[in-house]
Amino acid sequence: MPIYAYTGRHVDGSQASGTIDAVGRTEVVMQLEQRAIVPVRIEAISGGNGKASHSKDAGRGQPLSLFKKVTLDETIMLSRQLASLTRAGVPIVASLRGLSDTVNNPVVAENLDGVADSLEKGQELSVAVGKHPKVFSDLYVSMIRVGENTGRIDDAFSQMAGYLTLERQTLRNLKQATRYPLFVISAIAIFIAIINLFVIPSFKDVFDAIGGQLPWQTRLLISISDFSLAYWPHVLVLLSVLFYAFSRWKKSPAGKLSWDEIKFKIPLVGAIFYRSVLARFARTFSVVLGAGMPIEQGLSVVAKAVDNDFVGSKVDQMRVGIERGEGFTSSAKRTAMFSPLIMQMLAVGEETGKVDEMLAEVADFYEEEVEYKLLGLSSAIEPILIIIIGALVLILALGVFLPLWELSSAVNR
């Protein structure tokens, strides 16, 4: 069994130190609590059989961890665990150390250890977590800062867990609605590539043997196939260059701002994207206001948390207007982001002093609209896909089989 060295303090403030045999840091914390000792630092000094502690450290700092990402599910679980541990009175350093021993993702473990190290050096929790953006977003850091000011860190973790859970459900709905159209479009692209590169060239030899004037549909298919066979490397390089240029442009500040606005104008899905971002804005702003954050600071946090530069710029406009003395409703109306119905709801919230509660209802309203539109997305896209597939089949049938039918008619004569 691994051996851990600990330093801490008794209830009367006197120092305590020693070693404990335990399976992990969590068990060490539990044993120290039974002894009425508040742990300050816990370190593994022996792995028992020589493998336990080594295997834990071996998984950290490896090059593989550079390619691992922190999923939304892992962040939600981490938030719930931290909320439970802090609510139970477990010291935050001990909670972070214990969770670091239990998580499977080495990136999360390294970040948790980094936060614990910063806390042991005397830094505030909000400052410590702000150094690890892979796990803790700007919104997360701001919520923890509010929790520090109010003395309710457990509420900050609970609110983030609830917020991220709703965020996960929205993302799942979007992926589920777009999975079928993307699959069909990909299948069509593969089908066209196979036809141009393999099928048409095979029929071309037959058409050359037939001779005579071929129908325009057949000549069109042969021309496209010849171009594809002759220039497919050039086309592939051109598409790669265009994709790279588009990616670079989309990552630039001006490009991201323009692309985030263009996404809202895409037929069929643009309205879904727009309502989804507005739901995120309303939900996030409701959470930060409910936590006690000042409205101007809350808008600054939300502008980054919505993950859309276009809407973020509108939120910044709201913040500037409020700093100039405008009301919340009037500044929101000036951005033209919300419908008249939503503006009425926000006005009622401002008059009653319950803007956070009204924003939560606005978020529910937009999320319900997103779910409704996602359900109708497949029904709207299916006829379009059927028309596209039908047109491709018709062109292929006319181009390939029409000359064969004419040959068959000539032979029968």
Checking if the pLDDT of 245 tops 90, the result is yes
Q: At 51, is the pLDDT very low, low, confident or very high (cuts 50, 70, 90)?
A: very low
Higher pLDDT, 410 or 141: 141
Q: What pLDDT is recorded for position 17?
A: 82
Checking if the pLDDT of 50 tops 50, the result is no
Percent pLDDT > 70 in the chain is 88
**Residue 69 one-letter amino acid:** K
In this structure, of 43-52, 91-100, 258-267, 340-349, the range with the lowest mean pLDDT score is: 43-52
Checking if the pLDDT of 63 tops 60, the result is no
Please compute the mean of the pLDDT values over residues 237-266 and round it to a whole number: 92
For 133-185, the three-class secondary structure string (H helix, E strand, C coil) is CCCCCHHHHHHHHHHHHHCCHHHHHHHHHHHHHHHHHHHHHHHHHHHHHHHHH
Please compute the mean of the pLDDT values over residues 118-130 and round it to a whole number: 88
The model's pLDDT over 364-376, given as tens digits with 9 standing for 90+, comes to 888 888 888 877 7
Q: At 377, is the pLDDT very low, low, confident or very high (cuts 50, 70, 90)?
A: confident
Q: At 210, is the pLDDT very low, low, confident or very high (cuts 50, 70, 90)?
A: low
The answer to whether 60 and 106 are in contact (CB under 8 A) is yes
**Half-sphere exposure in the Cβ direction for 308 (13 Å, CA):** 20
Please compute the mean of the pLDDT values over residues 157-174 and round it to a whole number: 83
Picking from 301, 284, 278, the residue whose alpha carbon sits closest to that of residue 160 is 284
The model's pLDDT over 313-342, given as tens digits with 9 standing for 90+, comes to 998 998 898 888 888 888 888 888 888 878
Higher pLDDT, 375 or 244: 244
- Name, in order, each residue with C-beta under 8 angstroms of 376's C-beta and a sequence gap of 6 or more: none
The answer to whether 330 and 343 are in contact (CB under 8 A) is no
Please compute the mean of the pLDDT values over residues 102-116 and round it to a whole number: 87
Checking if the pLDDT of 305 tops 60, the result is yes
In this structure, of 47-61, 160-174, 333-347, 366-380, the range with the lowest mean pLDDT score is: 47-61
Mean pLDDT of the chain: 80
- What's the start-to-end Cα distance of the chain, in Å? 93
Higher pLDDT, 187 or 23: 187
- Tell me which CATH homologous superfamily contains domain 174-413: Type II secretion system (T2SS), domain F (1.20.81.30)
The neighbour count for residue 41, using CB atoms within 10 Å, is 15
The model's pLDDT over 212-228, given as tens digits with 9 standing for 90+, comes to 677 777 788 888 888 88
Rounded Cα distance, 164 and 77, in Å: 10
* Structure-block tokens of residue 404: 């064969």
Checking if the pLDDT of 57 tops 60, the result is no
* Structure-block tokens of residue 13: 């403030």
- Name, in order, each residue with C-beta under 8 angstroms of 351's C-beta and a sequence gap of 6 or more: none
- Name, in order, each residue with C-beta under 8 angstroms of 231's C-beta and a sequence gap of 6 or more: none
The helix/strand count (H/E) of the chain reads as 17, 3
In this structure, of 24-38, 111-125, 297-311, 332-346, the range with the lowest mean pLDDT score is: 24-38
Question: Whole-model pTM above 0.75?
Answer: no
Q: What pLDDT is recorded for position 413?
A: 53
Checking if the pLDDT of 73 tops 80, the result is yes
Rounded Cα distance, 304 and 313, in Å: 9
The model's pLDDT over 6-46, given as tens digits with 9 standing for 90+, comes to 877 776 667 788 888 776 776 777 777 777 777 767 777 76
Please compute the mean of the pLDDT values over residues 177-203 and round it to a whole number: 80
Rounded Cα distance, 312 and 310, in Å: 5
Q: What pLDDT is recorded for position 411?
A: 54
